[in-house]
Amino acid sequence: MDFRLNEEQQMLQDTVARLVRGEYSFEKRLEYSESELGFSADFWKQLGELGLTAVPFPEELGGFGGTGVEVQSVMTELGRGLCIEPYLQSVVLGGGLISQAGNSEQHEQWLGGIASGETQAAVGLQEPQSFYDLNDVEARAEKSGDGYVLNGRKAVVIGGHCADVLVVSARTSGDSRDADGISLFLISADAEGLDHRTYPTIDGSKGSDLFLNNVKLGPDALLGEEGKAAEVIEYQAGRAISALCGEAVGAMEVACDLTLEYLKQRKQFGVPIGKFQVLQHRMVDMMSELEQARSMAILAASVADEPQSDERRRILAAAKNVIGRSGQFISEQGVQSHGGIGMTWEYNFAHYAKRLVMINHQLGDDDFHLERFAALLQ
Partner 1 sequence: MNLNYTAEELAFRDEVRAFLDEKLPADIAAKVKGFRRLSKEDHQRWQKILNEQGWYATHWPEEYGGVNWSPVQKHIWDEESSRYGAPRSVPFGVNMVAPVIIKFGTEEQKQRYLPRILTGEDWWCQGYSEPGAGSDLASLKTRAVRDGDHYIVNGQKTWTTLGQHANMIFCLVRTNTEVKAQEGISFLLMDMDTPGITVRPIITLDGEHEVNEVFFEDVKVPVENLVGEEDKGWTYAKYLLTYERTGLAGIGISKAALQHLKELATRRTKNGRPLIEDASFSQRIAKVEIDLMAASISNLRIIASVEGGGMPGAESSMLKVRGTEIRQTINDLARRAIGPYAIPFVEEEMDLDYDGDFLSDENAAPVTPQYFNNRKLSIFGGSNEIQKNIVSKMILGL
Query: 34, 220, 346, 376: which one contacts partner 1 (CB under 8 A)?
Result: 346
Q: One-letter amino acid identity for 154?
A: K
Could you give the CA distance from residue 250 to residue 352 in angstroms, rounded to a whole number?
A: 10
3 binds partner 1 (CB under 8 A): no
339 binds partner 1 (CB under 8 A): yes
DSSP 8-state secondary structure symbol assigned to residue 259: H
Query: 199, 225, 264, 265: which one contacts partner 1 (CB under 8 A)?
Result: 199
Q: One-letter amino acid identity for 42?
A: D
Kindly report the number of other CB atoms within 10 A of residue 311's CB atom. 12
The binder of 178, among ligand FAD, partner 1, none, by C-beta within 5 to 8 A per type, is none
Kindly report the number of other CB atoms within 10 A of residue 145's CB atom. 9
Query: 129, 188, 288, 308: which one contacts partner 1 (CB under 8 A)?
Result: 129
Q: Which is nearer to partner 1, 64 or 87 (CB)?
A: 87
Handedness of CA 355, 93, 95, 300 (dihedral sign): positive
Binding residues (CB under 6 A) for ligand FAD: these are 266, 268-269, 273, 276, 278-279, 336-337, 339-340, 343
Q: How far is the CB of 187 from partner 1 (least distance, A)?
A: 20
β-sheet bridge partners, residue 272: 267
Helix (H) or strand (E) holding 330: helix 310-338
Q: Are strands 267-268 and 222-223 parallel, antiparallel or unpaired?
A: unpaired
Q: Are strands 267-268 and 271-272 parallel, antiparallel or unpaired?
A: antiparallel
Name the segment binding partner 1 (CB under 8 A); options: 86-94, 144-152, 186-194, 359-367. Answer: 359-367
Site string (209-248) toward partner 1, x via CB under 8 A: x---------------------------------------
Q: How far is the CB of 33 from ligand FAD (least distance, A)?
A: 23
Residues 6+ apart with CB under 8 A from 333: 282, 285, 286
| Residues in touch with partner 1 (CB under 8 A) | 126, 128-129, 131-133, 136, 155-156, 158, 176-177, 197, 199-203, 207, 209, 267-270, 276, 278-279, 332, 335-336, 339-340, 342-346, 350-351, 353-354, 357-358, 361-362, 365, 367, 370-371
